[in-house]
Amino acid sequence: MNIDYKVEKHISNKQIAIGGVLLAIMIGSQFFKNLSVYITGPIVNVVLVIVTLTLGLVMGIIFSIIAPITAFLITGSPVVAAAPHLMIPAIALGNIIMCVCVYLFYKHIKNKTFIGLPIGLIAGSVLKALFMGAVISNFILPRFCTSLPEKAIGIAQKTFSVTQLFTALIASAVVMLIWIPAGKFLMREAK
């Protein structure tokens, strides 16, 4: 499979505007993280996928890196604060895994059928949760966050595995609801 990572020589005003609006939605939603991860998580994941579909994989990766940094700066999570040098990159990599799956299945399925997007969304959700569960829940938290109470580590382990799967799957359903009626319009506007 030949993957073309074409980088445009110039970015249009529409692309900047779309990126700015999506970045504002992503960062704005992070202020509600303490209200419910089931609100913030799906919104962030929806933004990551919509950015990837409309502005490309490179922008999806950039947003994937920005998301855990801004979330930490906004919420000051004690779990992430226990090992930010490990937690932030691991969260970013989980986000990137989801974006890459969506991109590969949607953009590079030979016959570009409708089925590529749902497969990419489900695969991305599952792989993101598996990665974060393995790396964060089973490696980083028990080894590098020992200063946290045992109960907090247990809650964080669930958050970075099962909860990640649910929030990514919720986001996948929302993306499908957005992309079916508005996908062609968003793609056209992002050009």
| pLDDT tens, residue by residue, 88-116 | 999 999 999 999 999 999 887 755 567 88
Is the pLDDT at 54 greater than 60? The verdict is: yes
Is residue 94 in a domain?
Answer: yes
What's the pLDDT at 92? 98
Is residue 5 in a domain?
Answer: no
**pLDDT tier for residue 65 given thresholds of 50, 70 and 90:** very high
Is residue 1 in a domain?
Answer: no
Instruction: Work out the average pLDDT over 45-62.
Output: 95
- Domain containing residue 108: CATH number: 1.10.1760.20
What is the overall mean pLDDT for the chain? 88
| pTM score, whole prediction | 0.88
7-25 per-residue burial string, b: 16 or more CB within 10 A, e: under 16: eeeeeeeebeebbeebbee
Among 106-110, 147-151, 159-163, 179-183, the least confident range: 106-110
**Top-confidence residue, 150 or 131:** 131
Alpha carbons within 13 angstroms on the beta-carbon side of residue 160 total 27
Is residue 8 in a domain?
Answer: no
Question: Structurally, how many domains does the chain consist of?
Answer: 1
What's the pLDDT at 145? 87
Is residue 161 in a domain?
Answer: yes
Range of the domain at 138: 13-189
Residues constituting the chain: 191
Is residue 157 in a domain?
Answer: yes
Is residue 3 in a domain?
Answer: no
Question: Contact at 8 Å (CB) between 168 and 128?
Answer: yes
What's the pLDDT at 111? 52
**pLDDT tier for residue 140 given thresholds of 50, 70 and 90:** very high
Structure tokens at 85: 């040098």
Is residue 75 in a domain?
Answer: yes
What's the pLDDT at 109? 72
